[in-house]
């Protein structure tokens, strides 16, 4: 089974940042896309936001006006799930809640044809678990995009226990046809990226809680010494703390409380306060127009050290001592 042809209608449920981004990707690839959200007017508002974003690209000479107009003409807000009945693929991008996702796909199974493929954009919930209540669980897979979906190339194609490998290949080829770089993965906690990424966030959050340094300094260390495009606090503000914290809790629980994945009380406090990051205007940083971004703390210039005292076995740090000695440090 090859990629879905361009005559295939795509349904996207959830008009938040991820759902709107996925809808835009599918529409830019040439599909008619139906966008549904249970909040009145949210789907139409999301399409208006896409219009503004694409308009900026036109103004900057990065997109032809005709391409913008064609993409917008393929995006259609709809009022209820019944409107998705003739879709060939329905992608769910709602809140990270297992029961809500299960109930949605059970409803879709009663509305859509048996040929329709179901996909969840879940970041970490079990595809096997989501598909469990379905009469035909083989047609539900994970199709996990990354934020912002129109920009980020990677897409995880996730198979649960019952998922049909033929449909997994179809979604892989479809994502590739949409200009993405898909990868196959099994439905393990956090899949590939979110399992690997947990320590990236966790170490910075632990250092913050322990008072080792402030957010701007820790972010600067990751950017300037680690070579990352963004630090952990900048990135979690972009993702949204409600989403990032929920994924961390999901992975932590799935690995039976492995301390490597322990959620942060500092991040929980932000979620409890409604400080979700860029989308709420406040997270670890403030995003109001008047806000000034705090700078990293730096030490004043000082002479290079001449001596270094070592106590005990350095272990993995032994090469560091050799480098210091190579620079003349005794």
Query: Among all chains, which residue has been given the structure tokens 């033929």?
Result: 166
* Catalytic residue, candidates 96, 109, 144, 244: 144
In the residue annotation, 123 being an active-site residue is answered as yes
Residues 6+ apart with CB under 8 A from 256: none
Q: Percent helix, strand, coil in the chain (nearest 5)? A: 45, 10, 40
Q: How many residues does the chain have?
A: 330
End-to-end CA distance of the chain: 66
Are 89 and 4 in contact by the 8 Å Cβ rule? The answer is: yes
> What's the token pair of residue 268?
């929980």
For tokens 């830019």, the residue is: 28
Pick from 196, 175, 184, 131: which is nearest to 156 by CA? 184
Beta-sheet strand order (sheet of 89-92)? 75-78, 33-36, 10-13, 89-92, 117-120, 140-144, 154-159, 181-186
Place of tokens 């995880």: 156
Helix (H, G, I), strand (E, B) or coil at 158: strand
Q: Is 144 a catalytic residue?
A: yes
d(CA 157, CA 170): 10
The total of other beta-carbon atoms located within 10 Å of residue 29's CB is: 20
* Catalytic residue (choose from 194, 204, 244, 250): 194
Structure tokens belonging to residue 4: 């879905």
Active site residue 187: no
* Catalytic status, residue 301: no
The one catalytic residue among 96, 109, 120, 123: 123
Q: Determine which one of 96, 109, 156, 234 is catalytic.
A: 156
Write out the catalytic residue numbers: 123, 144, 156, 194
């Amino acid at each position: 089974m090859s990629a879905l042809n361009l005559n295939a209608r795509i349904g996207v449920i959830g008009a938040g940042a991820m759902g709107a981004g996925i809808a835009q990707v599918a529409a830019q690839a040439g599909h008619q896309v139906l966008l549904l959200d249970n909040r009145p007017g949210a789907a139409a508002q999301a399409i208006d936001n896409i219009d503004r974003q694409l308009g900026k690209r036109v103004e900057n000479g990065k997109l032809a006006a005709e391409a913008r107009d064609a993409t917008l003409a393929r995006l259609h807000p709809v009022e209820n799930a019944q409107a998705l009945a003739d879709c060939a693929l329905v992608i769910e991008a709602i809140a990270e809640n297992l029961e809500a996702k299960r109930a949605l796909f059970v409803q879709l199974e009663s509305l859509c044809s048996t040929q329709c493929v179901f996909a969840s954009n879940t970041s970490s919930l079990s595809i096997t678990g989501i598909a469990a209540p379905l009469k035909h669980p083989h047609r539900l897979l994970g199709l996990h995009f990354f934020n912002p979906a129109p920009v980020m190339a990677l897409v995880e194609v996730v198979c649960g226990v019952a998922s049909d490998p033929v449909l997994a290949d179809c979604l892989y080829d479809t994502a590739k046809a949409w200009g993405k770089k898909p990868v196959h993965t099994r439905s393990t906690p956090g899949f590939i990226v979110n399992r690997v990424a947990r320590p990236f966030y966790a170490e910075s959050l632990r250092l913050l809680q322990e008072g080792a340094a402030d957010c701007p300094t820790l972010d600067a260390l990751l950017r300037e010494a680690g070579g990352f495009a963004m630090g952990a606090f900048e990135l979690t503000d972009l993702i949204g703390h409600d989403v990032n914290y929920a994924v961390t809790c999901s992975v932590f629980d799935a690995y039976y409380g492995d301390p490597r994945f322990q959620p942060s009380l500092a991040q929980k406090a932000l979620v409890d306060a409604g400080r979700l990051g860029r989308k709420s205007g406040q997270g670890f940083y403030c995003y109001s127009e008047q806000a000034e971004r705090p700078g990293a703390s730096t030490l004043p210039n000082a002479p290079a050290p001449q001596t270094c005292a070592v106590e005990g076995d350095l272990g993995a740090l032994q090469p560091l001592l050799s480098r210091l000695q190579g620079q003349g440090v005794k």
